[in-house]
Amino acid sequence: VCGGRRSCWPGSGGTRGRAAMDLFGDLRRMNKRQLYYQVLNFAMIVSSALMIWKGLIVVTGSESPIVVVLSGSMEPAFHRGDLLFLTNFHDDPIRAGEIVVFKVEGRDIPIVHRVIKVHEKGNGNIKFLTKGDNNEVDDRGLYKEGQNWLEKKDVVGRARGFLPYVGMVTIIMNDYPKFKYALLAVMGAYVLLKRES
């Protein structure tokens, strides 16, 4: 209920409108030097995150050292939304029973499944077959046409650890792009407007 000298914003009870006005007020009160400083802070946070990611790639040997499980094909070992930590050292031989993340030609999203068969030739070449723990059949139907086995070059990484359900935020942001952009806007505004005490 609005009364007296208070102004109200339709449909928001006044709070959303006041928050937006406070945000723009903070921006107007900043001088150019403060604004440049906040933009530099934001750039430092982004570049630090990129450096950490590149460092993880070097340390783990994997092009994607952290991935999110997007389906239930590996239940009960991993559930949708679990965050997996990967390594991909080429000297380590691939063994049956290992959980690998692999890319198949023609598919953008890597797949997390278990190695069920390994064929090692005399020249050191290894071919292997995968299957989801929760699937009835092996993955030959997922490979590109005419491909019956995977090779080491197809492997993005091997699971070394996981955090349950932490990746659900990523899944929600992919399923609801508006939520993702709103969250990024709020985080960007917070970093830009946060002042040193």
Tokens of 67: 């991935």
Active-site option among 62, 82, 139, 154: 139
Name, in order, each residue with C-beta under 8 angstroms of 175's C-beta and a sequence gap of 6 or more. none
Compute the distance between CA of residue 126 and CA of residue 151 in angstroms, rounded to an integer.
6
Neighbours of 115 (CB within 10 A): 20
Q: Does 139 qualify as catalytic in the annotation?
A: yes
In this structure, the number of other CB atoms found within 10 A of the CB of residue 175 comes to 9
Strand partners, 114: 99, 131
Q: How many CA atoms lie within 13 A of 16 on its CB side?
A: 5
Q: Which of 62, 73, 82, 154 is catalytic?
A: 73
Catalytic, 73? Answer yes
Which one of the listed residues 62, 82, 113, 154 is annotated catalytic? 113
Q: Name the helix (H) or strand (E) containing 16.
A: helix 15-29
Query: How many alpha carbons fall within 13 Å on the CB side of residue 131?
Result: 12
Q: Which residues are catalytic?
A: 73, 113, 139
